[in-house]
């Protein structure tokens, strides 16, 4: 029966090529616009570390004084940790793995002749960082906790940076001049750039930034290296030096394997805050301490720009109007075939048969519209990629979005066909047959 | 022409007519708001900076030599830059320029009482103090930027201090800031307070935009003060004719590297002001393009829908049109019939659409900080949709008018 209905549908569509073309175009435009924006949103809210993200959490404390007023659009000062708090959490070692970190950029002076000095972005962090995030190594390894304690002059380079500096030769053991000091290369990582760069606080460029070197945090603090990112100070006394208790600038991530462990860690943060409050350092309620999971943190950070959301709503509104358009056209088309439908009904076809027949016809329009929509969406994504926006380069369709597009198109057109098909199969046959 | 028969026909096609009305309504609502958003963005991207943008270019240099005297370096560099053919003047700033995104702003109070009030409530709000953006720079900055003093004087050599740790004793402010700090008063020669430092207003310029926009009301609150840049990184502003700008930038790069190879010049921070403005508003221009495309797309789809449906109705009613022609209706009557039918449907859609447009605007106001939709958008939107409806029904209606009366005599 399916084959027969397909044949009928094709014939019917061929009989009104212009109208069919209009419907396919409308659904194609609507689907194309929506899928372009859905894909952009999909890549922006995608899991940056699949398989590992469920165990990653970031703890947050509230060391701000009671009378601290948050600046209007400035970053939240309690989003980051202060040096003493981060060191206390590190020392407590309550999670499976933990690392404190901050961004920095340093002038790299290549020893190789013919290479100009250039600035590189990287991360000052602690020994667990690589195991915590599962950073893959090409050669060598990260540094040890002992290196952290000794503020060792060591550095881990990414593959790209090592290649640029040393060519194909093994970089491990070589010296690199960063800023005013020499550092020994202990490891070279494979390409690793989670998007967004969730562990950094470089608001506005998480989708394009990538670290090119990693260095012990203690070394960076000792040598007073350039630190990037938000540094919010408060209160009286020292609020500008990196080790001050009144300035937040560090990000902190922990690995907690089970929900029980996460709950215990959450409790630990509250206890720690209560203890600090008792000591008179914290002023706000201890329950302000929070533990965000990675995906919750991304929601909290609100990385998706308002414009992208607005574009998505616009595209969906567009799809909706296209759908209304198709419902009206299909209704007119189906009702015009009342005579033909009545003949089939009089010859014994059930309402359900008519419904299925017309449903297949709508689905066929959906498939064609989906194919057109896919082409339009690819064109749309291509034009997004041409923009210099931070997230633009990511705008690519993966297999799931590809299938999703087709599914959405077919779903939309079948939905659009439901009402007209239902109306058409309720046409009383006797009345129609009389007029023929 | 009677409307009654049209209404009773539409009554028979209730569902289809309703769908068409809905489509027109949603199109009206969305297009009105989209056009309003486009107008807002265009307003935003055409904000004047107050400087001679089309004659300016900026080149950024980062010194990587150690223990260099920054002021000596800048003086040598500026002399080299001014010697480039085509450059009429040059100045150095630390990093802040209108639309350059790097902003440094301070709380500024018009008098001591306001300052006490601000300190007490720990907030600028209601204290009379404001937060202007502060520009530093070498002597001659005003002339290079093309700023004209509306009152007062330019800085003198003895006014200048070195580096951001020292605050100068005098400043030039914009007219907007003058009005915000000293409403209804003469701002010239008044003393402003930055923390505990008193700064006297010696000059007023018409307009100078902030490096990073906030809200339109305070975007013009800027200060220039005589503070010399004091860091390894510096922006050189070059003035030349609009045509020479690219050549001047290329020559400037070569000249600077020749004067001292111990520096980095990032090609991405070597820009004409036109490029700086385009980069600043890049998201807005994308959005304007997208909004216009989607509005046109919507109107196009709606026009297709109207035309498609009208086509169908003409085919469906060929026989009745023939009968009407046979009993005396003129071609004009048939034409008008379809035109009036379309007018009625679109009108119903517009009535609903105007309501939806206002609702949608309210929704956008709460979620996207959009201002209220001016009511005059609505009648214009209505006119556009009427025109669109008439245009798309014209071809099917003309075809209907061509139906010969003889059709009435044929069976089916």
Tokens describing residue B368 = 């996207």
Question: Between the CA of residue B93 and those of B41, B68, B96, B101, what are the distances in Å?
Answer: 30, 17, 7, 14
Mutation target among B268, B293, B298, B370 for the A interface, most CBs of A within 10 A: B298
CA distance B232 to A107: 12
Closest residue in chain B to residue A37, using alpha carbons only: B290
Going by pLDDT thresholds of 50, 70 and 90, the confidence category of residue B357 is: very high
Q: Please name the member of B290, B312, B315 whose beta carbon is closest to the beta carbon of A311.
A: B290
**Does residue B65 have a pLDDT over 80?**
no
Going by pLDDT thresholds of 50, 70 and 90, the confidence category of residue B93 is: very high
Kindly state the helix (H) or strand (E) to which residue B194 belongs, with its residue range: strand B191-194
Q: What is the pLDDT of residue B144?
A: 95
**Does residue B411 have a pLDDT over 70?**
no
CA distance B396 to B321: 13
Sign of the alpha-carbon torsion through A411, A416, A420, A426 = positive
Q: What is the pLDDT of residue B228?
A: 93
Residues A94 and A212 in one domain: yes
Residues A292 and A334 in one domain: no
Residues A266 and A370 in one domain: no
Closest approach of B309 to chain A, Cα-based (Å): 6
Mutation target among B257, B286, B359 for the A interface, most CBs of A within 10 A: B286
Reported as a single tens digit per residue, the pLDDT across B129-179 is: 898 999 999 999 999 999 999 999 999 999 999 977 788 999 999 999 999
Q: What is the mean pLDDT of chain A?
A: 86
Closest approach of B158 to chain A, Cα-based (Å): 32
Tokens describing residue A262 = 């996460």
**Does residue B19 have a pLDDT over 60?**
yes
Reported as a single tens digit per residue, the pLDDT across B97-113 is: 999 988 888 888 998 88
CA distance B207 to B216: 13
Cβ pair A291, A269 in contact under 8 A:
yes
What is the domain count for chain A? Answer: 2
Half-sphere exposure of B320 (CA within 13 A, CB side): 10
CA distance A218 to A392: 36
- Write the ipTM: 0.81
CA distance A355 to A141: 65
Residues A242 and A325 in one domain: no
Residue B139 sits at φ, ψ, to 5 deg, of -55, 145
Is the peptide bond preceding residue B377 cis, with omega within 30 degrees of 0? no
Residue extents of the structural domains in chain B:
4-45+283-409, 95-228
Extended beta strands in A256-324, E state: 290-293
Instruction: Spell out the residues 6+ positions from residue B74 whose beta carbon is closer than 8 angstroms to its own.
Output: B92, B138, B228, B229, B234
Q: What is the pLDDT of residue A74?
A: 58
Q: Please name the member of B123, B264, B301 whose beta carbon is closest to the beta carbon of A325.
A: B301
Chain B positions touching A321 (Cβ under 8 A) are: 23, 26-27, 30, 298, 301-302
Q: What is the pLDDT of residue A47?
A: 86
Cβ pair B251, B265 in contact under 8 A:
no
| Residue finishing a domain among A260, A276, A301 | A301
Residues A296 and A385 in one domain: no
What pairing do the DSSP bridges indicate for beta strands B191-194 and B108-109? antiparallel
Which residues on neighbouring strands pair with residue B194, listed in sequence order? B108, B197
| Residue finishing a domain among A301, A323, A355 | A301
% of chain B surpassing 90 pLDDT: 61
Q: Please name the member of B214, B282, B309 whose beta carbon is closest to the beta carbon of A332.
A: B309
Q: What is the pLDDT of residue A4?
A: 86
Cβ pair A218, A146 in contact under 8 A:
no
B315 touches chain A (CB under 8 A): yes
Reported as a single tens digit per residue, the pLDDT across B388-407 is: 999 999 999 999 999 888 88
The answer to whether the Cβ–Cβ distance between A321 and B286 falls below 8 Å is no
Residues A262 and A374 in one domain: no
Instruction: Spell out the residues 6+ positions from residue B263 whose beta carbon is closer than 8 angstroms to its own.
Output: B61, B62, B63, B64, B65, B256, B257
Average pLDDT over residues B290-306: 90
Polymer length of chain B: 412
Q: What is the pLDDT of residue A188?
A: 94
**Does residue B373 have a pLDDT over 70?**
yes
DSSP codes of every residue in B154-168: PPPGGG-EESTTSPP
The answer to whether the Cβ–Cβ distance between B19 and A310 falls below 8 Å is no
**Does residue B261 have a pLDDT over 60?**
yes
CA distance B291 to A265: 47
Q: Please name the member of A73, A107, A321 whose beta carbon is closest to the beta carbon of B26.
A: A321
Which residues on neighbouring strands pair with residue B199, listed in sequence order? B192
Lookup result for tokens 């070498």: B138
Q: Which of A189, A191, A190, A195 is nearest to A208 (CA)?
A: A195
Extended beta strands in B8-137, E state: 56-63, 89-93, 108-109, 133-135
Closest approach of B374 to chain A, Cα-based (Å): 20
Domain that holds residue A347: 2-45+305-435
The answer to whether the Cβ–Cβ distance between B286 and A389 falls below 8 Å is yes
Reported as a single tens digit per residue, the pLDDT across A380-405 is: 899 888 887 778 888 888 888 888 88
Residues A360 and A390 in one domain: yes
% of chain B surpassing 70 pLDDT: 99
DSSP codes of every residue in A75-96: PPGGGSEEHHHHHHHHHHT-SS
Q: Crossing angle of helices B14-45/A306-336, nearest 10°?
A: 160
Sign of the alpha-carbon torsion through B176, B177, B183, B186 = negative
Extended beta strands in A175-293, E state: 175-178, 181-189, 213-216, 232-233, 247-255, 290-293
Residue A377 sits at φ, ψ, to 5 deg, of -65, -40
pTM of the prediction?
0.82
Residues A166 and A288 in one domain: yes
| Residue finishing a domain among A281, A301, A321 | A301
Question: Between the CA of residue B239 and those of A153, B137, B252, B269, B322, what are the distances in Å?
Answer: 46, 15, 12, 16, 76
The answer to whether the Cβ–Cβ distance between A325 and B368 falls below 8 Å is no
Which residues on neighbouring strands pair with residue B228, listed in sequence order? B162
Average pLDDT over residues B323-340: 90
- Enter the DSSP assignment of A236: S
Q: Which parts of chain A register pLDDT below 70?
A: 69-75, 202-204, 236-239, 432-436
Tokens describing residue A147 = 């290196």
Burial of B409 (0-12, 13-18, 19+ CB in 10 A): exposed
Burial of B339 (0-12, 13-18, 19+ CB in 10 A): middle
CA distance B202 to B222: 14
Neighbours of B393 (CB within 10 A): 28
């Amino acid at each position: 029966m399916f084959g027969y209905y397909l044949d009928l549908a094709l014939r019917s569509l061929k009989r009104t090529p212009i109208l069919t073309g209009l419907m396919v175009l409308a659904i194609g435009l609507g689907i194309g616009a929506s899928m372009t924006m859905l894909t952009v949103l999909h890549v922006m809210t995608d899991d940056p570390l699949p398989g590992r993200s469920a165990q990653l959490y970031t703890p947050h404390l509230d060391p701000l004084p009671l009378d601290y007023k948050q600046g209007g659009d400035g970053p939240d000062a309690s989003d980051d940790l202060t040096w003493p708090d981060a060191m206390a959490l590190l020392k407590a070692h309550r999670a499976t793995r933990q690392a404190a970190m901050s961004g920095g950029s340093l002038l790299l002076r290549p020893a190789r002749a013919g290479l100009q000095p250039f600035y590189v972005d990287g991360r000052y962090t602690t020994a667990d960082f690589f195991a915590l995030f599962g950073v893959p190594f090409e050669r060598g390894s990260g540094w040890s906790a002992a290196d952290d304690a000794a503020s060792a002059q060591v550095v881990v380079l990414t593959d790209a940076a090592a290649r640029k500096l040393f060519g194909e030769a093994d970089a491990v053991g070589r010296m690199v001049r960063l800023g005013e000091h020499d550092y020994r290369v202990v490891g070279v990582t494979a390409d690793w750039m989670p998007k967004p760069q969730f562990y950094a606080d470089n608001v506005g460029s998480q989708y394009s930034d990538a670290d090119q070197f990693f260095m012990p945090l203690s070394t960076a603090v000792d040598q007073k290296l350039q630190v990037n990112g938000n540094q919010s100070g408060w209160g009286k006394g020292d609020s500008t030096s990196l080790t001050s208790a009144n300035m937040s600038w560090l990000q902190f991530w922990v690995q907690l394997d089970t929900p029980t462990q996460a709950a215990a860690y959450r409790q630990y943060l509250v206890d720690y805050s209560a203890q600090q409050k008792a000591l008179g350092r914290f002023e706000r309620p201890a329950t302000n301490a929070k533990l965000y999971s990675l995906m919750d943190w991304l929601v909290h950070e609100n990385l998706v720009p308002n414009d992208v959301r607005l574009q998505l709503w616009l595209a969906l509104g567009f799809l909706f109007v296209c759908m209304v358009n198709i419902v009206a056209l299909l209704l007119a088309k189906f009702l015009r075939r009342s005579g033909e439908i009545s003949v089939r009904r009089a010859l014994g076809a059930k309402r359900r048969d008519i419904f299925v027949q017309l449903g297949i016809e709508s689905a066929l329009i959906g498939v064609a519209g989906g194919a057109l929509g896919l082409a339009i969406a690819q064109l749309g994504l291509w034009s997004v990629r041409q923009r210099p926006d931070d997230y633009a380069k990511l705008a690519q369709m993966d297999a799931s979005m590809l299938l999703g597009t087709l599914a959405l198109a077919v779903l939309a057109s079948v939905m659009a066909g439901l009402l007209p098909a239902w109306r058409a199969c309720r046409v009383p046959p006797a009345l129609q047959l009389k007029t023929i | 022409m009677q409307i009654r028969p049209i209404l009773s026909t539409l009554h028979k096609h209730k569902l289809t007519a309703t769908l068409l009305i809905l489509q027109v309504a949603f199109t009206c609502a969305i297009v009105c708001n989209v056009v309003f958003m486009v107008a807002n963005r265009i307003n935003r991207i055409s904000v004047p900076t107050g400087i001679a943008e089309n004659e300016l270019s900026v080149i950024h240099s980062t010194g990587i030599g150690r223990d260099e005297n920054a002021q000596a370096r800048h003086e040598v560099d500026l002399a080299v830059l001014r010697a480039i053919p085509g450059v009429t003047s040059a100045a150095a700033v630390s990093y802040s320029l209108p639309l350059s995104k790097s902003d440094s702003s301070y709380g500024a109070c018009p008098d001591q009482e306001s300052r006490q009030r601000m300190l007490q409530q720990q907030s600028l709000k209601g204290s009379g103090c404001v937060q202007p953006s502060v520009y530093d720079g070498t002597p001659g900055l005003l002339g290079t930027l093309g700023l004209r003093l509306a009152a007062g004087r330019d800085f003198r050599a003895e006014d200048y201090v070195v580096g951001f740790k020292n605050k100068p004793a005098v400043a030039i402010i914009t007219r907007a800031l003058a009005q915000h700090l000293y409403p209804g008063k003469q701002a010239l020669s008044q003393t402003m307070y930055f923390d505990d430092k008193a700064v006297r207003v010696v000059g007023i310029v018409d307009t100078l935009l902030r490096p990073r926009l906030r809200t339109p009301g305070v975007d013009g609150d800027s200060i220039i003060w005589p503070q010399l840049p004091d860091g390894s990184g510096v922006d050189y502003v070059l003035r030349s004719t609009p045509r020479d700008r690219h050549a001047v930038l290329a020559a400037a790069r070569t000249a600077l590297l020749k004067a001292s190879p111990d520096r980095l010049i990032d090609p991405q921070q070597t820009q004409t002001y036109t490029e700086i403005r385009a980069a600043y508003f890049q998201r807005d221009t994308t959005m304007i393009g997208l909004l216009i495309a989607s509005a046109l797309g919507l109107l196009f789809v709606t026009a297709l829908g109207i035309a498609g449906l009208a086509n169908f109705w003409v085919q469906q009613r060929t026989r009745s049109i023939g009968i009407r022609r046979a009993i005396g209706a003129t071609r004009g009557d048939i034409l008008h019939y379809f035109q009036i039918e379309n007018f009625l449907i679109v009108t119903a859609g517009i009535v609903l659409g105007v309501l939806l447009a206002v609702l949608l605007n309210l929704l956008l106001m709460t979620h996207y900080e959009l201002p209220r939709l001016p009511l005059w958008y609505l009648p214009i939107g209505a006119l556009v949709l009427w025109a669109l409806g008439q245009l798309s029904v014209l071809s099917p209606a003309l075809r209907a008018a061509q139906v010969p009366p003889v059709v009435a005599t044929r069976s089916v």
